[in-house]
A and B are shown apart, each in its own frame.
Chain A
Amino acid sequence: MEFSIETVRLTKAFGAIRAVAELDLRVQPGEIYGLLGPNGSGKTTLMRLLVGLAKADSGEARVLGRRMPDRGLLADVGYMTQAEALYADLTAHENVLFFAALSGVKTASWIGEALELVGLQARANDLVGSLSGGLRRRVSLACALVHRPRLLILDEPTVGVDPQLRVAFWEHFRRLADGGVTLVISSHVMDEAGRCDRLGFMREGRLIAEGSPEQLRQRSGTMDLEQAFLKFAEADHAA
Chain B
Amino acid sequence: MQPNRVFAIARRLISQIRRDHRSVGLIILVPMVVMGLLGYILRLENQGLAIGIAAEDQGILLPTGARISAADRLMELLGGRDELQVNAVTAEEGERLLRQGELDAMVVLPEGFTQAVAQGDKPRLELVLEGSNPGQKQAVMFALTGALAQGLSAGPTAAERPSVEFETRYIYGGEEYDFLDSFAPVYIAFFAFFFVFLLTGVSFLRERSQGTMERLLATPVGRGEIVLGYMLGFGLFALVQSAVVLLFTIYVLRIHHTGSLALVFLVEALLTVGAVNLGIFLSTYARTELQVVQFIPIVIVPQVLLSGVILPVDSLPRVLRVVASLMPLTYANRAMTDVMIRGLGLADVAAELAVLLGFALAALLLSALSIRRQFV
Interface size on B, residues (CB 8 A): 14
Give CA–CA (A83, B209) in the complex, Å: 11
- Chain A residue at minimal CB-CB distance from B229: A102
Query: When the two chains form the complex, which single residue of A54, A75, A79, A88 contacts B215, counting CB atoms closer than 8 Å?
Result: A79
- Chain A residue at minimal CB-CB distance from B374: A53
Does the CB pair B376–A54 fall under 8 Å?
yes
Cβ of A208 within 8 Å of any chain B Cβ, yes or no, is no
Interface size on A, residues (CB 8 A): 23
Give CA–CA (A102, B214) in the complex, Å: 13
Q: Shortest distance in angstroms between A87's beta carbon and chain B's nearest beta carbon?
A: 6
Give CA–CA (A122, B149) in the complex, Å: 84
Chain B residues near A102 (CB-CB < 8 A):
216, 219-221
Chain A residues near B211 (CB-CB < 8 A):
81, 83-85
Give CA–CA (A83, B376) in the complex, Å: 18
Chain A residues near B214 (CB-CB < 8 A):
53, 81, 85
- B:208-233 near A, CB below 8 Å: 210-212, 214-222
Consensus secondary structure, chain B interface: loop
Query: When the two chains form the complex, which single residue of B210, B212, B220 contacts A103, counting CB atoms closer than 8 Å?
Result: B220
Give CA–CA (A127, B293) in the complex, Å: 26
- A:107-135 near B, CB below 8 Å: none
- A:28-84 near B, CB below 8 Å: 51-55, 71-72, 74-75, 77, 79, 81, 83-84
Query: When the two chains form the complex, which single residue of B212, B217, B220 contacts A53, counting CB atoms closer than 8 Å?
Result: B217
Cβ of A169 within 8 Å of any chain B Cβ, yes or no, is no
Contact A99:B215 (CB < 8 A) given known A55-B376, A71-B220: yes
Output the residue of A71, A72, A88 with the most chain B CB within 10 A.
Answer: A71
The 24 listed contacts between A and B (C-beta, < 8 Å) are A51-B218, A53-B217, A53-B218, A54-B376, A55-B376, A71-B220, A72-B220, A74-B218, A74-B220, A75-B220, A77-B218, A79-B215, A81-B214, A81-B215, A81-B218, A83-B211, A85-B215, A86-B210, A87-B210, A87-B212, A88-B210, A102-B216, A102-B221, A103-B219
